[in-house]
């Protein structure tokens, strides 16, 4: 299963997400096809007088710094160009798209951070002499849109992400990968593709935390991702704690991206403060009153006076080590599959998904038959090799969207998502037959194993708690053992 299909299964149906207003849809058409004449944008905006008024307020703010007041949209479009105004108009539509009073999520802080990143991205692009600075504003605004989509799709499960981010100080994308199997960068890129925008928008969003992992040889898209990453860290410096740490990362990134000679932080911060502060109230977001960012920058520089480039690299390595430790906490060390704890979280999520979307899924326990004999005859090192080979065999023969974990010892557990009971039984029984035919080579010997499988269904009507579902699967597996092993048994109520 492709990454796109996996994300599609994770998200709620796109039609359940808040719909973009008609004006926003027409603006997206302008982004996809910029050829029609300039006056069309003014006509599109004129269809929404409140939106037009808000756009003119931004036009006359210090964000653009025009010498005289502009009183009508055609004049504004002619003077500033449609790229500037279409993204400002789209900003209002996106920021008001999600219900800010729904669920326990700080939408205002989210959009304040996003708007800050948008302004910073635009300024950095200008400082670099790029002509796509308005595109960079839009990318900065939507770079984290995947967070909102994941939260809208699974508010209950996303609260687990928020909890882990707050409690364990991990990055959002790390917690998302553990809980959902995908992250907001991938989801954001998927949504941008659904909007019909080009890879020039989706690719930078897909890798904005790791720009050099971007899958393209296009220098423009790689640079866009780097600008996003840099703007994100500057935004975090302005809105979060640990300012010395953030400043070290910013200076490290400037050197790594070869921008240190082109970007001076003091002028950037001065421009951000001058452009952002008047902009925030226009979007009904709280301004940073009484905060002198230049002073904060100077104080942070003094604190990190003794930090060298090598030390900032060490800080970054420590952050990566924390992420690696977090991954280890959810991964079985021998097989690299999910461990017991990670599986329990996945099962909770699937039960919630079944209840919400009214589909069926499969839970199955599989135990390798007479595995003690393998250890006794070939040794425990050979036994570990067999477990690794079986884990790899299972992984290759199920969908990437399904869940596979080592439950303990020689036991494995499966969650086949959105799968009817008959299909799930057939899939697992075929997997059992293929395993029995598998010859695992170890030091010139061939080792064969079989498994007994217990299968039960997770259904939308009267869904049982997870311990009861596991008890059903375990009971069916016991019957498979009792009937002679190397069998698949479906749980049935007495």
CATH code of the domain containing 232: 1.10.3210.10
In a domain, 189, yes or no: yes
The predicted pLDDT at position 433 comes to: 97
**Residue scoring higher pLDDT (177 or 422):** 422
What is d(CA 388, CA 386) in angstroms, rounded to the nearest whole number?
5
Among the ranges given (73-87, 122-136, 372-386), the one the predictor scored with the smallest mean pLDDT:
73-87
pLDDT score recorded for residue 207: 92
Mind listing the pLDDT tens digit for each residue in 142-186?
999 999 888 888 888 888 888 888 888 888 999 888 888 889 999
Per mean pLDDT, which range of 70-74, 196-200, 372-376, 383-387 is the poorest?
70-74
Clarify whether residues 230 and 111 are in a common domain: yes
Q: Are residues 264 and 353 in the same domain?
A: no
Task: Report if residue 24 sits inside a domain.
Answer: no
Select, from the ranges 143-147, 204-208, 443-447, 452-456, the one with the highest average predicted confidence (pLDDT).
452-456
311 or 332: which leads in pLDDT:
332
Instruction: For residue 489, give the 3-state DSSP assignment.
Output: strand
Q: Where residue 494 falls among pLDDT bands split at 50, 70, 90?
A: low
Residues 6+ apart with CB under 8 A from 451: 366, 367, 368, 369, 412, 432, 435, 486
pTM here is 0.64
pLDDT for position 300: 64
The reply to whether 241 and 117 lie within a common domain is yes
Provide long-range contacts, Cβ within 8 A and 24+ apart, for 307-316: 307/244, 307/248, 309/251, 309/252, 309/255, 311/248, 312/248, 312/249, 312/251, 312/252, 313/252, 315/245, 315/248, 315/249, 316/249, 316/252
Closest of 141, 182, 169, 168 to residue 11, by C-alpha: 182
Q: Give residue 444's pLDDT.
A: 92
Q: How far apart are CA 202 and CA 143, in angstroms?
A: 9
Q: What is the number of other CB atoms lying within 10 angstroms of the CB of residue 99? A: 11
- pLDDT digits 0-9 by tens, 209-266: 999 888 788 899 999 999 999 999 988 888 777 777 888 888 889 999 999 889 988 8
> Is residue 40 in a domain?
no
Residues 306 and 362 in one domain: no
Number of domains in the chain: 2
Q: Is 331 left (phi over 0), alpha (psi -120 to 50) or beta?
A: beta
> Model confidence at 450, in pLDDT bands (50, 70, 90)?
very high
- Is the pLDDT reported for residue 62 higher than 60? yes
CB atoms under 10 Å from CB of 345, counted, come to 16
- Is the pLDDT at 1 greater than 50, yes or no? no
- Identify the band that residue 2 occupies on the pLDDT scale cut at 50, 70 and 90: very low
362 and 461 together in one domain: yes
Tokens of 81: 């160009």
Sole residue written with tokens 């910029």: 34
Judged by phi (left if over 0) then psi (alpha if -120 to 50, else beta), residue 338 lies in beta
Q: Give the residue among 419, 414, 447 at the shortest CA–CA distance from 359.
A: 419
Residue 38's pLDDT band, with cuts at 50, 70 and 90, is very low
Examine the domain organization and report whether 359 and 292 are in the same domain.
no
Task: Flag whether 181 is in a domain.
Answer: yes
Task: Tell me if 160 sits within 8 A of 345, measured CB to CB.
Answer: yes
Q: Is position 286 within any domain?
A: yes
Average pLDDT, the chain: 84
Closest CA to 90 of 221, 239, 195, 9: 195
Same domain? 260 vs 151: yes
Give the pLDDT of residue 236: 87
Say if residue 306's pLDDT is above 80.
no
d(CA 91, CA 423): 46
| Residue 349 and residue 317 share a domain | no
* Among candidate residues 321, 348, 368, the one where a domain is terminated: 321
Residues 389 and 430 occupy one common structural domain: yes
Helix (H, G, I), strand (E, B) or coil at 395: helix
Q: Quick one: 346 and 204 in the same domain?
A: no
In a domain, 256, yes or no: yes
Q: What's residue 382's pLDDT?
A: 95
Same-domain check for residues 193 and 269: yes
Hey, what long-range contacts does 127-130 have (CB within 8 A, 24 or more apart)?
A: 127/262, 127/263, 127/267, 127/268, 128/227, 128/259, 128/262, 128/263, 130/223
Phi, psi of 406 (to 5 degrees): -85, 120
The Cα–Cα gap between 88 and 98 comes to 17
Domain assignment present for 413: yes
Burial 291-317 (b: 16+ CB within 10 A, else e): eebeeebeebeeebeebeeeebeeebe
**Cα 344 to Cα 415: distance, rounded to the nearest angstrom:** 11
Q: Is residue 271 part of a domain?
A: yes
Model confidence at 75, in pLDDT bands (50, 70, 90)?
A: confident
Give the domain range for residue 418. Answer: 340-490
**CATH number of the domain to which 377 belongs:** 3.30.70.270
Question: Do 294 and 393 sit in the same domain of this protein?
Answer: no
Q: What is the mean pLDDT of residues 340-344?
A: 91
């Amino acid at each position: 299963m492709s990454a796109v299909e996996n994300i599609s299964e994770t998200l709620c149906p796109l039609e359940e997400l808040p719909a973009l207003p008609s004006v926003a849809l027409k603006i997206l058409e302008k982004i996809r096809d910029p050829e029609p004449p300039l006056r069309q944008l003014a006509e599109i905006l004129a269809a929404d007088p409140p939106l037009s008024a808000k756009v003119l307020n931004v036009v006359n703010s210090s964000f653009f710094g025009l010498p005289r007041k502009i009183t009508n949209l055609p004049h504004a479009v002619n003077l500033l160009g449609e790229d500037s105004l279409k993204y400002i108009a789209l900003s209002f539509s996106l920021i008001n798209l999600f219900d800010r009073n729904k669920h326990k999520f700080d939408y205002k802080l989210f959009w304040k951070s996003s708007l800050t990143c948008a302004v910073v991205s635009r300024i950095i692009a200008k400082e670099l002499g790029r002509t796509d600075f308005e595109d960079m504003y839009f990318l900065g605004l939507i770079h984290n849109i995947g967070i909102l989509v994941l939260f809208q799709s699974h508010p209950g499960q996303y609260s687990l992400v928020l909890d882990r981010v707050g409690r364990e100080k991990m990055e959002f994308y790390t917690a998302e990968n553990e809980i959902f199997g995908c992250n907001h960068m991938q989801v954001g890129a998927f949504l941008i593709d659904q909007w019909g925008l080009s890879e020039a928008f989706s690719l930078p969003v897909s890798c904005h935390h790791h720009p050099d992992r971007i899958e393209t040889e296009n220098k423009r898209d790689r640079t866009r991702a780097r600008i996003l990453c840099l703007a994100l860290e500057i935004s975090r410096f302005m809105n979060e704690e640990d300012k010395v740490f953030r400043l070290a990362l910013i200076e490290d990134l400037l050197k790594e991206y070869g921008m240190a000679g082109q970007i001076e932080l003091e002028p950037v911060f001065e421009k951000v403060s001058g452009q952002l502060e008047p902009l925030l109230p226009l979007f009904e977001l709280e301004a940073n009153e009484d905060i002198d960012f230049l002073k904060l920058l100077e104080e942070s520089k003094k604190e990190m006076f003794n930090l060298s480039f090598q030390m900032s690299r060490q800080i970054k390595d420590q952050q990566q080590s924390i992420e690696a430790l977090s991954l280890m906490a959810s991964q079985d060390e021998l097989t690299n599959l999910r461990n017991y704890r990670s599986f329990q979280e996945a099962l909770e999520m699937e039960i919630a998904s079944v209840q919400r979307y009214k589909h069926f899924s499969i839970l199955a326990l599989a135990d390798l038959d007479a595995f003690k004999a393998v250890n006794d005859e070939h040794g425990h090192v050979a036994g570990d090799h067999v477990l690794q080979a079986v884990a790899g065999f299972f992984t290759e023969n199920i969908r990437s969207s399904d869940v596979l974990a080592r439950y303990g010892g020689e036991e494995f557990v499966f969650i086949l998502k959105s799968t009817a009971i008959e299909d799930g039984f057939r899939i697992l029984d075929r997997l059992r037959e293929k395993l029995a035919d598998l010859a695992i080579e170890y030091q010139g010997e061939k080792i064969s194993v079989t498994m007994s499988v217990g299968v039960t269904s997770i259904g939308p009507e009267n869904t049982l708690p997870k311990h009861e579902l596991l008890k059903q699967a375990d009971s069916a597996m016991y019957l498979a053992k009792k009937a002679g092993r190397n069998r698949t048994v479906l749980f049935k109520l007495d």
